[in-house]
Structure 1
Amino acid sequence: MGLPISWFWSRSFLLNRLFLWLMFICNFLGTVYGYIWYGNQIEDTLSNHPLWQIVFVPDSPTASLFFTITLLYWLFPPRGNSKFVNGARMIIEGLAVVTSIKYGIWAVSMIVAGSMQGDPLHWEHWMLMCSHSAMAIEVLLYARFMKARVGAAVIGTLWLLLNDTVDYTYDVFPWLSDSLMDNLTQVKWFTYSLTIFSFIVGGLALKAKKQT
């Protein structure tokens, strides 16, 4: 008999070192690609906005970066029992969960919303929808194995709320298609609402975690 389908989201499969390395490579490359994708907006922000706002520009690749670092904790577990190291790990994991859920869903939603208003869908849009959907799915699969607790998700959510506020106060939100710029107010409130949704879902996922 073959392996049951549930094995593919079991601890044995997801925390297997070979699979962790595959996940790390995919997320690392996706993170690099994401920062390259934001290249023009980063340059524009550096030219036309205060330097401190730059950290709020590349949303999705930063979320992917948090999860990439999280994977390193499983590949190379920290030695000892340092409160600082454990605290930093839990905060990064909390950030990885809520930001990946949010921006995974947000990017897909914006592409779909744009297409509904007449924007043509190219292969890049399909690639982005697949990769961003994977961002949200993978953290939900791995959340139960993380050390982070709901408190770390709260910290991640506070970061997201700050990011949302900076984005829509200083116009450093991810560039939208022209068709969606006419609905910027709706996009703004959808983004804030998605932050709260990501906290709820991410918090529940962390509460369901198992001992590793």
Structure 2
Amino acid sequence: MGLKLFWSRDFLLNRHFLWVLFVVNLLGTIYGYIWYENQLVWTSIHKPDWMLPFVPDSPTSSLFFTLALLYLIYPPKRVTKLQSAGRVIIEALAVVCSVKYGIWAVVMIVWGAAQGDVLNWQHYMLIVSHLAMAVEALLYFRFMKAGIGALAAGLLWLLLNDSMDYTYGIFPWLPEQLEDDLSAVRAFTYALSAASFIAALFVWRFRKQA
């Protein structure tokens, strides 16, 4: 059986494991919002309050995934069309946002380090945790209900978030070594939004054929 066990439906949908995953993601979400505290305060002082939801990208992504896990822990037996629509939107956002910002954060850390930023234990912790965000989102998408329409809505959200970030200057704070590379960072960010949608679409096609 070997490593295949850890990719199997029986293992991944085991309620005990799902609860562990839920708690880990919930704690990570809380930590993420605390991480963004200074930028949230700065934004509330210098920008309109309605921009605040666009600031904490990674923890909001993990929040969507944490909520999506609840549908797997407690599968609803009877749902209305509105409840079903809410579920697929949350799941789609959980997938495309977690893949996008999981990879984005790692690239920014490595990119900054390549230009002289000194890494500490928190950087390595963030690399591991954000890679895990991307992997778990793609891994669990095959058990979710979201389809191509919801994924398209997720892509629109990512592009809106990108436009807000780089139009109004509320993108996640970067290592100072990357401040003169903002145009390249912006282009990469938009491209990664599209790539995250394509990755989710690929998993969706695989799920439909399975």
Query: Which residue does 2:68 correspond to in 1?
Result: 70
Query: Which residue does 1:163 correspond to in 2?
Result: 161
Aligned 8 A contact 1:90 1:152 in 2 = yes
Query: Which residue does 1:101 correspond to in 2?
Result: 99
Can you list the C-alpha shifts for 1:110-163, whole angstroms capped at 9, x where unaligned? 000000000001000000000000000001110111001111111000000000
What is the deviation of 1:178? Answer: 1.0
Aligned 8 A contact 1:114 1:177 in 2 = yes
Please give the secondary structure, in 2, of the residue aligned with 1:208: helix
Can you list the C-alpha shifts for 1:35-60, whole angstroms capped at 9, x where unaligned? 00000000000000011110100000
Instruction: Please state if 1:181 is matched with 2:179.
Output: yes
> What is the percentage of aligned positions where both structures have the same residue?
57
Matched positions, count? 209
2:202 to 201, 204, 207: 204
Runs in 1 of length 4+ with deviation above 4 angstroms? none
What are the ranges of 5 or more consecutive residues in structure 1 without an aligned counterpart?
none
What are the ranges of 5 or more consecutive residues in structure 2 without an aligned counterpart?
none
What is the deviation of 1:103? Answer: 0.2
Please give the secondary structure, in 2, of the residue aligned with 1:172: coil
What is the deviation of 1:25? Answer: 0.4
What is the deviation of 1:208? Answer: 2.1
Matches within 5 A, 1:116-127: 116-127=114-125
Aligned 8 A contact 1:64 1:100 in 2 = yes
TM-score, normalised via structure 2 length: 0.97
TM-score, normalised via structure 1 length: 0.96
Bigger helix share = 2
2:28 to 15, 27, 30: 30
Tell me how far apart the structure 2 counterparts of residues 47 and 79 of structure 1 sit (CA, whole Å).
45
